[in-house]
Structure 1
């Protein structure tokens, strides 16, 4: 009998549900292993997305591209991520997270490696589009998987810890660009992007499926195999799927019914503002610094400082959100992002410049990690991939705007200071959107009210 049809699963007082077992478990080697695998996947995402920013100067010279064209080409992967988040990521709710993630890693790695052989902007744009579609579906699903396996007291920390490895990928892209481009030109950055294919055997062996997905679909043996690693020694003979409301409408429609529309829209807004800041800076920061008189190698190192800040900001933000709230943490981060970018507009001395870049990275890239954790916590399992996928996908509108906006600003030949003042505005918009988001969780069908979540609300 499928677990979702087990009569016990309809008893909300049952203490041996999948969620109760996972929520009350202690962190074990199994958790650390899954976190390590998902962190590697996030490194892949960070490397592939930042890599274009490390080669844009060379591409503009070699292919004689103006800033607007270069910015549009930089948005190709982000358009792909929009498509992947909206239309591919939700397939995991039907077919499972694991198979979709394995396919996405394979396609993204092959397409990114193939970028090394592009001979014109159109070819590179198509390949980057494919990379984006794959990553747009991959990231929401491994983020959701971490949340579904994490103990309740560590959920935000683990999700944001994994998300912080986006910056590790960004740092790797900058470091490889500095050291590989002199030997293999800009194409060497994309040669390295094929290495994740070597990770596939490890993922095939050790990457688990979502326990709730296994429970809902009645895969008893596989479910018990996963839960026995989550909580060894636990009696699993009477484990049941966590009670879920009957779903009568399409998952996407649920994002806008039962009083969810405003919150979903606000979540999309601050996803978009956060991604505009993060992807815009990672794409154009080296070029902006070069126009300010910095040598290319020094300009590339600013990406390293930015992403080092991102690592610190994501990890600290997860710790803070577990003890304070997502809402207050995000307001603080968006505000710091705007203040640090305004500070950069004054063209500070080298030491202060690096401090402000570090804070800007911590606030912008760190917020990117926290908003994913926010969305994972906000949406329940039955619509989680859909909710997180659509939030991340709609957020890609901001991400698409980041490189495009940067190119437009450079084309205007504005003073260095005005460029950073313009980029500071999305931080203000993001802070306002978070500040007015309602303090209640997602309302499922046939649910009259929903209590505030201690990690979502202040």
Structure 2
């Protein structure tokens, strides 16, 4: 009989086929998450004309999906820590794919809004749980990078939506971009077979054989027997999962994450919804305005890939704060116009600082909370953030009705980025689960070193 420590096996593991399969499925799911979120902004100018919507009405319809995401992030985040992340990911994928597909058959704004709300439930729960599951199984030296590269697909999907719009809308109508959103439904049976369940859930439910089978995929040289015991997972005992987010010196950091998420998602969804319309107002055609949305998401992709490496070197907090400040400067300058090349450059920086930084915050949160409350922590933060996501489209629509100068619109979004940077500065990294674990391992290694030295004497 042996004592098995799943976390130690996972942390010391090497990237292999098991990790690659998990990464590819996670990448695909988050790609369509980003696609489905950006698709409304892609068709918004057409829907406003076809359904005779005002800017405020269009912003309100855009907020329906985000309203659903707020509930989905909180409900499914908490649910995943109870019934398992794999089940929740499958449920979420079914919800957001099926009901985004149904948007293609909506005949009016009300029906469209209802479908967007239900799809939003799935969209809100998917990213926190995918990020948490990837963190569960990533080797210690690759956690932030692997989560960041997985979530970069959110920006790829965001860029894919306007790209598909440019290719399909003129020939097949606005409905065609929603047809594409149904593709993940085909993949669900394969995901159900190949996605692993989180170790904390398997341990808590006593599914030892399934846990050992998964650990063997991480390290094929390991052997297990039925008599092997699993080391208990240190957990914060509480009947209300959210309460644990405020224990052990985490209260201030938890609130700071919530504020940062609110501001970040306000910027992300405000810009994703209204950037094409703002560019049309500035004199660009539909296809030309959609290329700015592609540049926004392209900047996010480049930003995530570049900034994730910097996060591992200098720490997530410093890098993300710097990114938001740079984004605020870019948005401020964007409002004053310039030549086309300069505008594309500033839009790309804004993408890196908004969508890109939001993805990095998700990875940051997964390393901050202990594994037994990781989905809850990220889910609740995302749920609170969805309030900002709902505010973004409505705020943008309201500003357009005021017919204020373009630079005022961008300055307001820039100010929100500054608030996000200030909130992030309040997070206490010394209380994060990853840093506590690192200190414990360092102390353990030091103690072992002293024992070896004493034995040699």
TM value normalised by structure 1: 0.92
Does the alignment pair 1:115 with 2:109? no
Does the alignment pair 1:400 with 2:390? yes
Q: Give the 3 Å change call, closer, same or farther, for CA 272–241 of structure 1 in structure 2.
A: farther
Q: Does the 8 Å CA contact 2:102/2:115 hold for their aligned counterparts? A: yes
Deviations 1:218-257 (A, max 9, x none): 1111111111111121244446245313513311111223
Does the alignment pair 1:42 with 2:30? yes
Deviations 1:81-110 (A, max 9, x none): 100011222111111111111111112111
Deviations 1:97-134 (A, max 9, x none): 11111111112111111101111111111110001101
Deviations 1:289-326 (A, max 9, x none): 11111111100011111111111111222211111101
The one of 317, 320, 323 aligned to 1:333? 323
How far off its partner does 1:52 sit?
0.3
Write the distance in 1 (CA, Å) between the matches of 2:62 and 2:103.
Answer: 13
How far off its partner does 1:260 sit?
2.3
State the partner residue of 2:185.
Answer: 197
Q: Does the 8 Å CA contact 2:252/2:426 hold for their aligned counterparts? A: no
Q: Give the 3 Å change call, closer, same or farther, for CA 427–45 of structure 1 in structure 2.
A: same
Tell me which moved more, 179-188 or 52-61: 179-188
The one of 55, 68, 84 aligned to 2:43? 55
Write the distance in 1 (CA, Å) between the matches of 2:236 and 2:86.
Answer: 24
Write the distance in 1 (CA, Å) between the matches of 2:251 and 2:392.
Answer: 26
Write the distance in 1 (CA, Å) between the matches of 2:339 and 2:423.
Answer: 33
State the partner residue of 2:451.
Answer: none
Compute the RMSD of aligned alpha carbons: 2.0
Q: Give the 3 Å change call, closer, same or farther, for CA 239–371 of structure 1 in structure 2.
A: farther
Q: Does the 8 Å CA contact 1:345/1:417 hold for their aligned counterparts? A: yes
Tell me which moved more, 179-188 or 155-164: 179-188
Does the alignment pair 1:313 with 2:303? yes
Write the distance in 1 (CA, Å) between the matches of 2:174 and 2:121.
Answer: 23
Give the alignment of 1:50-449 within 5 angstroms: 50-237=38-225, 238=228, 240-241=230-231, 243-245=233-235, 247-442=237-432
TM value normalised by structure 2: 0.92
Q: Does the 8 Å CA contact 1:85/1:393 hold for their aligned counterparts? A: yes
How far off its partner does 1:452 sit?
8.5
Q: Does the 8 Å CA contact 1:85/1:392 hold for their aligned counterparts? A: yes
Write the distance in 1 (CA, Å) between the matches of 2:363 and 2:429.
Answer: 16
When the two structures are aligned, how many residues end up with a matched partner?
Answer: 438
Write the distance in 2 (CA, Å) between the matches of 1:246 and 1:278.
Answer: 33
Write the distance in 2 (CA, Å) between the matches of 1:378 and 1:310.
Answer: 23
Structure 2: gaps (5+ residues): 441-457
Write the distance in 2 (CA, Å) between the matches of 1:300 and 1:190.
Answer: 16
Q: Does the 8 Å CA contact 1:30/1:230 hold for their aligned counterparts? A: yes
Write the distance in 1 (CA, Å) between the matches of 2:256 and 2:68.
Answer: 22
Q: Does the 8 Å CA contact 1:440/1:453 hold for their aligned counterparts? A: no
State the partner residue of 1:3.
Answer: none
